[in-house]
Amino acid sequence: MNKLFPVGTSNKKKAVLLSLGATVALICRAIYRIYYVPRSLRHIPSVGYFRLIRSILRREDATTRARTVYGPAIKKGNGIYLANFPITWSVFVSSPIAAKSVLMKTDNFPKSMEIFHALGKENPVVRFFGIDNVAIVNGEKWKKQRKVMNPAFHRAMPVQMFGRLMLKGFKNIEKQDYQVPILDFFQRLTLDALGIAGFGFDFHSVDDPESIWTKTYENVRLGLRSPFSFLFPSMDWLLKYIIPGRKELDKSVDKLNALLMSMAQERRLQVRASIDDNVPDSEKDLLTLMLEAELRGEGTASDEQLRSNLAVFFLAGHETTANTMSFCLYNLAMNKEVQSKARQEVLTVLGDEPVDILPQIDELRQMPYIDMVLKENLRRFGPASMLIARKSQEDFDLNGVFIPKNTPVVVETHALHHNPDVWKNPEQFDPERFAPGGEHETCHEGMAWLPFSSGSRGCLGMNFSLAEQRTFLVMLLRKYEWELPEDSIHRNGVKIQNFQNAAPESLEIKFSSRY
């Protein structure tokens, strides 16, 4: 040690120099890890770390980023490339054939739980969602939970309840003088829909903007999205005292957790006493249906697992559906001929009497063009721009590219849906792609359309969300025509809120009533 320092250096000076040296070494190591691609992955075309960060800081939307940042690497790697994102070097997949290989081989590519473990038990994200829920766990644990839930999500969907909510939504459109901040409008509808359908609880978000439970939920939703809730996890013990709003967030998480837990416990007792025996399945909430499946011996779920899964339904089903519907109204405002064609289909099935009506399930099934519109909207602006990272369990040949064991692999749905080698004119909104014999049916091998993912880990709530989207869209088309206001910032292309939330930035829609 003495050889390192000139004779006469005091102990205090030595300590300072040593700590400085250690800090510089740590910083160099961190920069090296960020910048230099691991040797075992260097054969895959990569995206520069700082180019990516610059794009995020400039708030470039996912489409621009896919074109300018990832585009060249995607082309070079035939749909497979490497980027240091979100926390480590990962392989990104935007080719239909490679995506299919990853999603069909769930044992080779289970979901990676690293982020949740890194956050630690005290983190609000982990305290709300838990780490034992169907969206995160793998293997037998996952099978058991999914088995309890599958029947609940495959029964007849509660379209009458969705319709009743939209009737309340009509009143809000009138109250707001027919020019409506559309994301807020749909966030209220989809929150109430999830509360009622999930566990029989009305947040009253649509009819009472000040409702206490809506505010509690909003505190949690926005708080968990703050970068401070998941960045610097090792500093959480300190951050929780200095981050503004963190105390409030912790309190709201406790309050919402207590509500979900009490719902799970009470409903278990009710189901055991068979209180809801005469209620048809389409009117039962998801919690009741899950508990009934458990009673029939179709899997098991503890109270904490039920609570944690109800929390996941909010994460997975609230903003996703609200964002999707907002984009759908945008797309139809920008493509008037599609809006008219969709309305014509609705009027043919439901008639054009000047009165509000609630569509029935079998009527919604007779509207193939509406489904084409919803599919194209999800291709263009699906809310899940990438799937949760998977980790390769062994060396793997992915469409001719060698992927070593323990590599994080991310299917990047946005880049896949906007890949010009896969979709013709990908930036154009064209529902005809999904017509029988259309582009999607005839030109695609592998998995080219993945807004809900696919395979056994595909979205559990897909049918639920699609039934909700159909009901809302059909009722809106029957009652209104709509367009963007003259001064809308979205006239030359939609502006996205930010990197964390791919929702349209303060989008307003101007409605005119048809009756």
236 vs 376, beta carbon nearer ligand HEM: 376
User: Which residue sits closest to ligand HEM, CB atoms considered?
Assistant: 461
Indicate the residue among 401 and 459 with the shorter CB distance to ligand HEM: 459
Q: Which is nearer to ligand HEM, 382 or 426 (CB)?
A: 382
- Tokens at 443, concatenated: 């030109």
Q: Which region, judged by CB under 6 A, interacts with ligand HEM, from 229-237, 363-371, 457-465, 473-481?
A: 457-465
Decide if residue 200 touches ligand HEM (CB under 6 A).
no
Residue number with CB closer to ligand HEM (233 or 317)? 317
| The only residue of 383, 431, 446, 504 in contact with ligand HEM, by rule CB under 6 A | 383
From the centroid of its chain, how far is CA 242? Answer: 29
Residue 134 vs 509, nearer CB to ligand HEM? 134
Q: How many other C-beta atoms can be found within 10 angstroms of the C-beta atom of residue 120?
A: 14
Compute the least distance from the CB of residue 257 to ligand HEM, in Å. Answer: 18
Mutual orientation of helices 139-153 and 303-334 as an angle, nearest 10°? 60
Where does this chain touch ligand HEM (CB under 6 A) — which range of 160-168, 232-240, 379-387, 392-400?
A: 379-387
Q: Does 329 bind ligand HEM (CB under 6 A)?
A: no
**CB-nearer residue toward ligand HEM: 257 or 320:** 320
Stretch of 34-42, 123-131, 300-308, 449-457 lying at the interface with ligand HEM (CB under 6 A):
449-457
Q: How large is the angle between the packed helices 182-199 and 462-479, nearest 10 degrees?
A: 130
Sheet containing strand 89-93, edge to edge, reads 80-84, 89-93, 408-411, 390-391
Establish whether 28 is an annotated binding residue.
no
Closest CA to 449 of 109, 121, 458, 488: 458
From residue 450, give the alpha-carbon distance in Å to each of 97, 100, 163, 411, 462: 12, 10, 27, 9, 11
| Spatial separation of the C-alpha atoms in residues 63 and 412, rounded to whole Å | 12
Q: Would you tell me how many other CB atoms lie within 10 Å of the CB of residue 222?
A: 14
DSSP per-residue codes, 65-114: HIIIIIHHHHHHTTTEEEEE-SSSEEEEE--HHHHHHHHH-TTTSPBP-H
Q: What count of residues does the chain have?
A: 515
Question: Tokens 């909510």 map to which residue?
Answer: 165
Q: Tell me if 350 contacts ligand HEM by CB under 6 A.
A: no
What's the token pair of residue 396? 């793997």
Q: According to the binding rule CB under 6 A, does residue 317 interact with ligand HEM?
A: yes
Q: Which of 112, 205, 320, 385 binds ligand HEM (CB under 6 A)?
A: 320
Please report whether residue 459 would count as binding ligand HEM according to CB under 6 A: yes
Cα dihedral across residues 325, 332, 368, 450: positive or negative: negative
Establish if 451 lies at the interface with ligand HEM (CB under 6 A).
yes
Nearer to ligand HEM, 320 or 331 (CB): 320
Q: How far is CA 358 from CA 231, 436, 479, in A?
A: 45, 28, 12
Please identify which residue in 47, 93, 263, 316 interacts with ligand HEM, judged by CB under 6 A.
316
- From candidates 74, 126, 135, 373, binder to ligand HEM by CB under 6 A: 135
Q: ω before 38 within 30° of 0 (cis)?
A: no
The stretch among 59-67, 204-212, 246-254, 450-458 that binds ligand HEM (CB under 6 A) is 450-458
Binding site members for heme: 459
Which residues of the chain form contacts with ligand HEM (CB under 6 A)? 134-135, 146, 312-313, 316-317, 320-321, 324, 382-384, 387-388, 451-453, 457, 459-461, 464-465
